[in-house]
Amino acid sequence: MYRLALILALACTWADAGADSEYPARPLTYTVAFGPGGGNDLMSRTVVDIVRQYKLYGDQHIRVENRPGGSGAIGYGRVARQAGNAYVITSTSGSFLTTPIVSETSWTWRDFTPIALLALDAMFLVVRTDSPFVSMDEFVTRARQSDMKIGGNGATGPDRVVAGLLAESAGIEFTYVPFQNGSGLLTGLTSASLHALVSNPSEVMGQVAAGNFRVLAYSADSRSTVYPEVPTFVEQGYEVEFAVPRGIVMPAGVPADVRDWWIAVLKKVVATREWQNYLETRGLSGAVLWGDDFGDYLGRTDSEYRRILNSFGSIH
């Protein structure tokens, strides 16, 4: 009886949180489902900084909280449980889609209200500068002749998906080596334990700028504005097109007028010089989608994740 009363009380509280006639009327909690300093955290805090700077949330306070753990499961689960709450928000990542696919979570992307896709974070295939490979064709030719090791962050994340798409498109096999963090992955390549790695551009740009790493391909549908000299996989003849959706979502059941309010605010955010600087310094594509269009994109991307991860045997 007590548990039922508690659930009803919370439901009423969250319903009230979405029913303000003047939005926003309360402080906002921006939940980051990962630890400080990572790509998701940086994007979230950039959005919040711009919203604060231009007073787009009025005089109300925005609190950023990091809730890491379980490849996003803890933080995203916390947001998903607050259905209808118009005062909690979070940012998407690759794990926003992959974690529910490979783990038993109480939520999926369908338990959220899509607000906006703000950027796409594509991947690099990288080798050492002293590697004999200067093109994808040379790399693939070698992979067909002998076993090669390609590293990436995580066993089922975006790095693994891009590596798998390459294997599928090129008709090659290799050993994929998962790492728990970016520093270990970089060490794997610098120590020659790996032949190549798949990585977010921001994690390797320092080594590329220092002349230690060479980028063979980019997984977006067009070249990076930061690294325009790097060809895409597709233009080199390999059907590898993939990017992590950097977007904003709220819990399911948020009123439509609140969703539309946030869409209007985020359109102002992406028009700022500060946001453009963020995209350029992090090597991101400034692709945008709003509301239902973003939801459709998440659905298509989720289906592709499932197909690829199932082919790896990652879905049990």
Cβ count near 260 (within 10 Å)? 13
232/224 Cα distance (integer angstroms) = 9
The token pair that represents 290 in the structure block = 């709003």
Greatest alpha-carbon pair distance for the chain in Å reads: 69
The confidence score (pLDDT) of residue 222 equals 87
DSSP secondary structure code for residue 231 in this structure? P
What is the predicted pLDDT for the residue at 179?
86
- For 18-76, what is each residue's pLDDT tens digit? 545 699 999 999 999 988 888 899 999 999 999 999 999 999 999 999 999 888 999 99
* pTM exceeds 0.75, yes or no: yes
Phi, psi of 23 (to 5 degrees): -100, 135
* 185-232 confidence digits (pLDDT tens): 999 999 999 999 999 888 898 899 999 999 999 999 888 877 889 999
Set out the domains of the chain in order of their start, with CATH numbers: 2-121+244-311 (3.40.190.150), 124-236 (3.40.190.10)
**223 vs 170: CA distance, rounded Å:** 20
**Of the candidates 290, 220, 248, the residue with the CA atom closest to the CA atom of residue 96:** 248
Report yes or no: 215 and 124 within 8 Å, Cβ to Cβ. Answer: yes
Where does 143-226 show beta strands of DSSP type E? 149-153, 175-179, 196-199, 213-218
